[in-house]
Structure 1
Amino acid sequence: MQLTVKVCGMRNPHNISEVAAAGADWIGLIFHPSSPRFVGRPDTATDAHPGAAVAIDVPPGIMKVGVFVDADNDYISMQAARHGLDLIQLHGNESPAAMQSLRCSLRAGSLHGVRLIKALHVASASDLQGWAAYADCADFMLFDTKCPTAGGSGRQFDWTALDSYDGSLPFLLSGGIGPDDADRIAGLCHPMMAGIDINSRFETAPAVKDAALIGRFIGRLRSAKTTTQTQRLKQNKT
């Protein structure tokens, strides 16, 4: 199975097109005003202002993920409708009850197909057990490195902790993934791992991604993943 690659923290339409062409599957748009990658922050590299009513365009086939931190349902629903979000990632301290309430709000706004991702902040294997509280209200989990801020630390947690994840929800691996991690990621074989989330270590400036670097990384990741899967199939047959 091919891993989904989410590139988070984007707002420049031209840069988004470059990253999509480089092989990204999902584009993450951050709706947290204190983030340097907030979509509403003025950007001298583009005339577009995502905080306005104009939706952020992405190429066909690319999924838009809106990232929110302890935001209220009205704000999330408004941005989901305005920007045509396919998924909503909740990256704060949102409770299961809050997520259930959000899902009801989305349905009331005829946004039935929007899927929900709940981020867990991970320092040790025990933190992964928090998934169970969200089993009935999330579609995906995302495991990010625990840090003083909501995210964007550029640091990794100990990936061996993933071995203890026994959840029924697919997950994305996040937190400090860099250009040199393709082979390590390809070697991970957890059956519920659906993809990865990359951000700051592929930037030339906040919210500006190096599309060529991302393209080389994705190419290496998918090549190494195919090789790893082939080797495992051969081992299973012997």
Structure 2
Amino acid sequence: MKLKVCGMKYVENIQQVADLQPDYLGFIFYEKSKRNFEGIIPEFPNSIKKTGVFVNEYIEIVISLVEEYRLEAIQLHGDESVEYVTDLKNQLTERRALFIEENKQIKKKKNQHYISENEVEVIKVFGIKDEFNFDVLKPYLEVVDFFLFDTKGKERGGNGTKFDWSVLEKYPFDIPFFLSGGIGLDDVEEVQKIMKSDLPIYALDVNSQFESKPGVKKIEELEKFKKNVITNVVK
């Protein structure tokens, strides 16, 4: 079971969370978010995938930030269409091919931004409250790597509340997904229960329930959560 910690903002806190070895660290590039990221991402183990979170952003800006921060995953948290996702992936593939071709030359250039050698994962987010029509996912099945199900609320993520997980019992597809939306330490038993189901849950995504203030994660609570849920859950 994978763990993604989203809404990272401050260098020291990023380093502390990275020491816990989550599988993904999420950086929000959305000016309206209280956790909007601007600055430098410190070095941390390559096993942790840097994930950029975007909301209806111009593709050119997404690609620019992928290259600047060497992002390995993109989380689309807006109303991005299938055409948008397809175009984005095609452009990323072209830039990756160019990078591989010029790899040696690019690495010799100091401070040169470049795209990851690995294919960038694309995660498409959908908000759920008390019900959801899974048919809306069908057009995306061939163009995304994962879905992420979050609580539908006023904010584009980070609302701090859970949706009705029983809605997921009707999930009809094989493509794996991230489970998000107000997950905290109080949900350990509930999380363990849903993890024992046949649902293709790939990762748990946590954010606001582990914060002392927006963008600052509580390290001890995250460590306890990872130990009690992620480490001990065997699918």
How big is the shift at 1:12? 2.0
Q: Which runs of 4+ in 1 moved over 4 A?
A: none
Would the aligned equivalents of 2:2 and 2:230 in 1 still touch at CA under 8 Å? Answer: no
Across the aligned residues of Structure 1 and Structure 2, the Cα RMSD in angstroms comes to 1.6
Is residue 2:125 matched to residue 1:139? Answer: no
* Alignment correspondent of 1:29: 27
Task: Describe how 1:32-111 pairs up with structure 2 within 5 A.
Answer: 32-40=30-38, 49-50=39-40, 56-110=42-96, 111=115
Give the whole-Å Cα distance in 1 for the aligned partners of 2:221 and 2:130.
30
How big is the shift at 1:56? 4.5
Percent identity over the alignment is 33
How big is the shift at 1:123? 1.8
Which amino acid in 2 is paired with 1:95? S
* Alignment correspondent of 1:235: none
Would the aligned equivalents of 1:58 and 1:64 in 2 still touch at CA under 8 Å? Answer: no
* Alignment correspondent of 1:113: 119
Which secondary structure state, in structure 1, belongs to the residue aligned with residue 159 of structure 2?
coil
Give the whole-Å Cα distance in 2 for the aligned partners of 1:142 and 1:118.
6
Would the aligned equivalents of 1:187 and 1:225 in 2 still touch at CA under 8 Å? Answer: no
Q: Deviations over 1:132-172 (max 9, x none)?
A: 12101100000001112212111110011111001121100
Closer/same/farther in 2, CA of residues 215 and 186 from structure 1, 3 Å limit: same
Task: Describe how 1:160-199 pairs up with structure 2 within 5 A.
Answer: 160-188=166-194, 189-199=197-207
Is residue 2:134 matched to residue 1:128? Answer: yes
Give the whole-Å Cα distance in 2 for the aligned partners of 1:37 and 1:75.
18
Which amino acid in 1 is paired with 2:222? I
Give the whole-Å Cα distance in 2 for the aligned partners of 1:178 and 1:170.
21
Which amino acid in 2 is paired with 1:20? A
Give the whole-Å Cα distance in 1 for the aligned partners of 2:6 and 2:65.
17
How big is the shift at 1:224? 4.7
Which amino acid in 2 is paired with 1:57? E
Which secondary structure state, in structure 2, belongs to the residue aligned with residue 195 of structure 1?
strand
How big is the shift at 1:184? 1.2
Q: Deviations over 1:157-191 (max 9, x none)?
A: 00111110011211000111111112211111234
Which secondary structure state, in structure 2, belongs to the residue aligned with residue 35 of structure 1?
coil
Give the whole-Å Cα distance in 2 for the aligned partners of 1:159 and 1:28.
23
Would the aligned equivalents of 1:121 and 1:127 in 2 still touch at CA under 8 Å? Answer: no
